[in-house]
C-alpha cells in the first residue's frame, strides 16, 4: 500500500539545515496532517491535528511519525520516542514519499527518526531555535 507521507524529510542531504517537509495523505482520508503547522514551527497546532488523527487510527504509521516529529519539535522527546516506536511496531508497513522525491517504508523512516532523536537532531540550536539535521 502506498501512502504519500507528510513527515519531515529525514533523508535530506543538507547537513545543519532546517529539515524539509513532505505532504501526506492518510488511508483514513485525513489530508495534510499538519503539514503547514509543522513546516512553520507551530507545534501546538500540529499536535492538535495529529493527536485527533492518531485517536481516530492509532495504527497509522504515517500519523505516528508526524506525531513523533511534532512532539520532538515541542521538546517532548519521551512522547516523540513513543510515537516513533509505535510507528516502527505497526503491523502494516506503508510506503512514504519524502520531500527529496525518494520513497521509503514507514519502518525505515521511524528508525531514522529514532536515530535522529538519539543524536539530538530535533533540538533547537542557537538563539533562532532553528533545528539541525546531520546525517
Q: How far is C-alpha 81 from the geometric centre of its chain's CA atoms?
A: 11
β pairing state of 130-131 and 2-3: unpaired
Report d(CA 122, CA 134) in Å as an integer.
10
Tens digits of residue pLDDT in 41-91: 788 888 989 999 999 999 999 899 989 989 998 999 999 999 999 999 999
CATH 1.25.40.10 fits 2-131, yes or no: yes
pLDDT digits (tens, 9 = 90+) for 123-135: 776 555 555 554 4
DSSP E strands, the chain: 2-3, 95-97, 103-105, 124-125, 130-131
Question: Any idea where the domains of the chain sit in the sequence?
Answer: 2-131
Amino acid at each position: 500500500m502506498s501512502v504519500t507521507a507528510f513527515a519531515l524529510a529525514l533523508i535530506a542531504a543538507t547537513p545543519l539545515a532546517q529539515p524539509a517537509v513532505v505532504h501526506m495523505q492518510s488511508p483514513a482520508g485525513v489530508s495534510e496532517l499538519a503539514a503547514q503547522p509543522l513546516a512553520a514551527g507551530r507545534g501546538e497546532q500540529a499536535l492538535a491535528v495529529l493527536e485527533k488523527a492518531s485517536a481516530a487510527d492509532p495504527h497509522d504509521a504515517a500519523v505516528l511519525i508526524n506525531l513523533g516529529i511534532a512532539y520532538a519539535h515541542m521538546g517532548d522527546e519521551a512522547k516523540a520516542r513513543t510515537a516513533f516506536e509505535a510507528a516502527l511496531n505497526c503491523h502494516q508497513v506503508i510506503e512514504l514519499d519524502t520531500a527529496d522525491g525518494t520513497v521509503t517504508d514507514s519502518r525505515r523512516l521511524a528508525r531514522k527518526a529514532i536515530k535522529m532523536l538519539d543524536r539530538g537532531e530535533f533540538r533547537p540550536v542557537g538563539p533562532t531555535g532553528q533545528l539541525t539535521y546531520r546525517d
